Amino acid sequence: MTYIVLMGAPGAGKGTQAKMLEKNLGLPQVATGDLFRHNLKNQTELGRLAQSYMDRGELVPDSVTVDMVRDRLSQADCDGGAILDGFPRTLSQAEALHDLLGEFGGRISVVPHIHVDQDVLVARLLKRAEIEGRADDNEETIRTRMKVYQEQTAPLLDYYQGKGLLVEVNGEQSIDEVQQDLLLVIQESAV
């Protein structure tokens, strides 16, 4: 089983790269945003539970997110592993993921971190906001998202570095070059 935790700040290209990896490796992309949308739209038990927190203006607890990931990883298409995109976001989620993968008899193979300079990220996100007509994405909100990402996720980079799983990938290359580097990193982790 190959479990890959794809990391990178907003705008680093995680979603694009995860979709390409899904095609190239035959492993499903498991994106927490997609899981939330699926569970909310289909009014699953977990979706209703998440909605109850959201309706009260509260953050959805890690336990609910972990249960959504557990449910998704238990599906047949994940028998060979998965590409985790957007999860974990915190140290407690990383520890929960470790335990969860243990339930499936698996472990994380590698944690590629798509690194892009913050100013490049801001420029990318501003351009994307312009193309998609997202008026709420201005430089101030984007920099706030970057700050939150740094505060919550920087400890994860250290956590996975300490486990010998983190590999830096230059995210300022072309999309295809980043994909080639990711495939190489994943292939090397399988050795």
CATH code for the domain in which residue 99 is found: 3.40.50.300
Active site residue 14: yes
Residue 154, pLDDT > 70, answer yes
The torsion angles phi and psi of 82, rounded to 5 degrees, stand at -165, 160
Active site residue 134: yes
Catalytic residue among 19, 70, 128, 143: 128
- Distance, in Å, from the CA atom of 29 to the CA atom of 84, rounded to the nearest integer, reads 6
Active site residue 124: no
**Is-above-0.85 flag for pTM?**
yes
Q: Mean pLDDT of all residues in the chain? A: 92
CB 24 within 8 A of CB 18: no
Active site residue 56: no
Residue 189, pLDDT > 70, answer yes
- pLDDT digits 0-9 by tens, 22-80: 999 999 999 988 999 999 999 999 999 999 998 898 888 999 999 999 999 999 999 99
Catalytic residue among 70, 107, 143, 145: 145
Catalytic residue among 89, 107, 127, 147: 89
Residue 118's closest CA among 143, 101, 92, 140?
143
Euclidean distance between the first and the last CA atom of the chain, given in angstroms as a whole number? 13
CB 160 within 8 A of CB 98: no
- How many Cα neighbours within 13 Å face the side chain of 30? 26
pLDDT mean over 142-146: 86
Residue 81's closest CA among 26, 130, 135?
26
Report residue 191's pLDDT band, with 50, 70 and 90 as the boundaries.
low
Predicted local distance difference test score (pLDDT) of residue 130: 86
Report residue 153's pLDDT band, with 50, 70 and 90 as the boundaries.
confident
Active site residue 147: no
Domain that holds residue 86: 2-189
Domain count, the chain: 1
Catalytic residue among 134, 143, 147, 163: 134
The torsion angles phi and psi of 165, rounded to 5 degrees, stand at -105, -20
